[in-house]
Chain A
């Protein structure tokens, strides 16, 4: 009788053996299993509970942590301007001279206390009058905040340099909650500049071309969520938190209140007033302080685009002393004759000298009349450009 080979596992001799199922479970095992299941559930509960309790500041900006910067550095500017002379190493370069910044390079100047209205030096924000429009339904949510040229960027960050270019002086801002509407509020910003023309320049730079005109502000428009306008040397922004009609109505009320209380002042805006209204695209009005159209002799220029004869015509006006205006016109004529341009002097019209030039496929027609220089530039149709200028000079376009 063959001896069974005990080294061969029994399983191998039964390939189709039914899988074994253990049925005997001791009481100890059952209790241990139950305890472990409870422990697993407990761990889950602990983790879930821990997730509910946390410090929200870990994920949120702590505004209080920033307050220590509000009494910040005197004389510092985010953009330094040289006080004159040539930048070392820059052959043929000229340094921009700005009368507005009192700080020396390195920012070591100690700025004097207090700020002056329309002053030309950047000074720290002095706590002035708080913003307290008395509008029913509005309640202040915070104190009035004050910012000067030195720390404006803390409030508006990357927009600050543009404001500083227009000689920004002080920002007053405050937030008001809307009574009866949880979560609704209105922000009021008043940016004060040194002159009305600079306030206009900043307003025009940020203007929304789709905005609707305002009846209470000659330079102003309303957007989807707010009202933006200039009053005197102040550029105001009144922004609603939502498009709820009640919130928008209160924003409008604040705007009208401030427009009524701030003094009107259009000093320096002669050029703006001279831009004809007929055919103007209101969203295109701009103010350029220096080097308009790349020309050093064009400063404090107001320009806008007009619909005329089916074309879009850019038109500008510069108001200056008659001698300066004449010199600018002459320089422009000389420049237009360069680089293969075709320039021709036109007959005088309504007391104004005129020339017409074509450069690189576009036309310009430039006039000079006493202390005013202006004209159409970058027009595709030279005849149309000339017609527009002549009609403007004759008063047919107002």
Chain B
């Protein structure tokens, strides 16, 4: 009993408790990112704590979004104690740690484990990746979300894991099964990276993680760190047996690689390893070792990524009509400066309309959220996507602002796009079949869809009275419920495109923005 309690007060034991706690907390946030459970929980806490998100968005936007100030709570401890985040808090790192323990060389000979945990030059790749991403950010393209572990894990859970759970256990996650475009790509990337732990322990954390590289760079200034007493050390290398970071504690400690897991402290039979305040510099390698030419290559890739991506025109005149962003989104270039592809908005969307884009918005916009009206529609009285966005790519708006009510009546509602009819597919227009579903479901007041009665002679000679629908572009908010409910389900007879969205001056459909439409004009005269 006494020994158990004593063991609990070891730092390694506390680290394990912290791992269980933070991993459970992350899973909890993923689960409650749902209209039914969200309440006031800080579902995006991990993203707001992520220092790389704060740093990179500060570069691209020249501001720090309000919630991202929380990242200081991680930056300060990193400057003091090193990369504690990677092994104590990071849920993705904890997952890799666990899978590596489960699937790795756990029962193998000690020698194999020791060899697997020696530092390799390959581990400098993450710094090259970080450099490339930072340079891209300086140029104006925010791509840290592709490999940042918190963004990656959130995205994988949202688009791949949660829907997969719901397939196997129906109604466990969603009321109705959710689908996400390209989920298989995201899912396979997750499985691949996690599976690589079998070959290289903590493969992602050691080789690819840009957040780890960022924290590793900050760790160069850490005041406390692992120290090896050469007088006590017998060179048994047992400290490498469970070393998570491959930081070479058996020789000169690589500060930027140490995950502060305390495994080496526990494994050393000679009590030669301890966690000390400012041990001698000669016993460590302070800064990350990144060859200059590789750093230059990373920079060039970053510049090229921005230039080639922006040069495709997808954020400019050649924008894709299906890139319809969530309500409250900032203008497209600013959106791409802020969106970290965490897909939190997709997770919380109650109608499954938000989807991770592939190349619709160009290379820069991969996995950023767009609306797919075939799968859902934008619920009129919902602004949850903006509530959970950690970077302000989707602003926090009220329902009044979204619907253009109350104090926002003068500006009108936020428009996501405009609906257009495909007369060749519309039942009353070309199939002699009555249908007014689109008009019935149009949620705005007054309705953006109206119909005109016309009586025609059918092919069999009988007359039929039909109501043929029209769209008033001044009233349409592009919510997509008409497209979603259209009975022509393979390709709807009414489809929403991005033109007319209020967040962009260039994409306005009506010269006056629809402010002085015949219907709106009456409203103003009455006021």
Chain A residues within 8 Å of B, Cβ to Cβ: 6, 9-12, 15, 20, 22-25, 29-30, 32-34, 36-37, 40, 43-44, 47, 50-55, 57-59, 61-62, 64-66, 68-69, 71-82, 87, 90, 92-96, 98, 105-108, 150-151, 153-154, 157-158, 161, 290-291, 294, 296, 338-339
The answer to whether A72 touches B453 (Cβ under 8 A) is: no
The answer to whether A72 touches B445 (Cβ under 8 A) is: yes
Q: Select which of A51, A71, A78 is within 8 A of B41 by beta carbon.
A: A51
Q: CB of B489 within 8 A of chain A?
A: no
By a CB distance below 8 angstroms, the chain A residues around B463 are 291, 294, 296
Cα separation A43 to B28 with both chains bound (whole Å):
14
Task: Pick from B8, B241, B405, B453 the residue with the most CB of A within 10 Å.
Answer: B453
Q: CB of B281 within 8 A of chain A?
A: no
By a CB distance below 8 angstroms, the chain A residues around B6 are 23, 25
The answer to whether A40 touches B383 (Cβ under 8 A) is: no
Instruction: Type the 1/0 row for B246-289, where 1 means its CB is closer than 8 Å to any CB of A.
Output: 00000000000000000001111101000000000000000000
By a CB distance below 8 angstroms, the chain B residues around A61 are 381, 399
Cβ-closest chain A residue relative to B401: A65
Cβ-closest chain B residue relative to A30: B9
The answer to whether A82 touches B399 (Cβ under 8 A) is: no
The answer to whether A65 touches B400 (Cβ under 8 A) is: yes
Q: Select which of B109, B235, B271, B450 is within 8 A of A77 by beta carbon.
A: B450
Cα separation A106 to B6 with both chains bound (whole Å):
82
Cα separation A154 to B461 with both chains bound (whole Å):
39
Q: Select which of A36, A47, A106 is within 8 A of B14 by beta carbon.
A: A36
9 nearest A-B pairs in the assembled complex, by CB-CB distance: A54-B40, A158-B440, A96-B453, A51-B41, A20-B269, A33-B9, A65-B405, A9-B237, A30-B9
Known A-B contacts A10-B236, A11-B236, A92-B456; A108 and B518 likewise in contact (beta carbons under 8 Å): yes
Measured between C-beta atoms, what is the minimum distance from B247 to chain A in Å?
18
Q: CB of B199 within 8 A of chain A?
A: no
Known A-B contacts A20-B267, A107-B522; A93 and B467 likewise in contact (beta carbons under 8 Å): no
By a CB distance below 8 angstroms, the chain A residues around B399 are 57, 61-62, 65
Q: Select which of B3, B234, B454, B523 is within 8 A of A72 by beta carbon.
A: B523
The answer to whether A290 touches B445 (Cβ under 8 A) is: no
The answer to whether B400 touches A9 (Cβ under 8 A) is: no
By a CB distance below 8 angstroms, the chain A residues around B3 are 23
By a CB distance below 8 angstroms, the chain B residues around A43 are 21, 25
By a CB distance below 8 angstroms, the chain A residues around B441 are 158
Main secondary structure of the interface of A (DSSP, over half): loop
By a CB distance below 8 angstroms, the chain B residues around A36 are 11, 14, 18
Known A-B contacts A10-B234, A36-B18; A24 and B452 likewise in contact (beta carbons under 8 Å): no
Measured between C-beta atoms, what is the minimum distance from A307 to chain B in Å?
29
Cβ-closest chain B residue relative to A37: B14
The answer to whether B452 touches A82 (Cβ under 8 A) is: yes
The answer to whether B522 touches A11 (Cβ under 8 A) is: no
The answer to whether B522 touches A291 (Cβ under 8 A) is: no
Q: Select which of A50, A68, A80, A157 is within 8 A of B42 by beta carbon.
A: A50
Cβ-closest chain A residue relative to B520: A73
A-B contact pairs, 28 of them (CB 8 A): A6-B235, A9-B111, A10-B236, A11-B114, A11-B237, A22-B10, A22-B271, A23-B6, A25-B6, A36-B18, A40-B17, A47-B41, A52-B40, A55-B40, A58-B384, A58-B387, A65-B399, A69-B445, A71-B526, A72-B446, A80-B452, A87-B454, A93-B454, A94-B454, A105-B452, A107-B522, A108-B521, A291-B465
The answer to whether B110 touches A11 (Cβ under 8 A) is: yes
Q: Which of B348-382 contact A (CB under 8 A)?
A: 381
Cβ-closest chain A residue relative to B35: A59
Cα separation A64 to B111 with both chains bound (whole Å):
71
The answer to whether A94 touches B18 (Cβ under 8 A) is: no
Q: CB of B190 within 8 A of chain A?
A: no
The answer to whether A9 touches B236 (Cβ under 8 A) is: yes
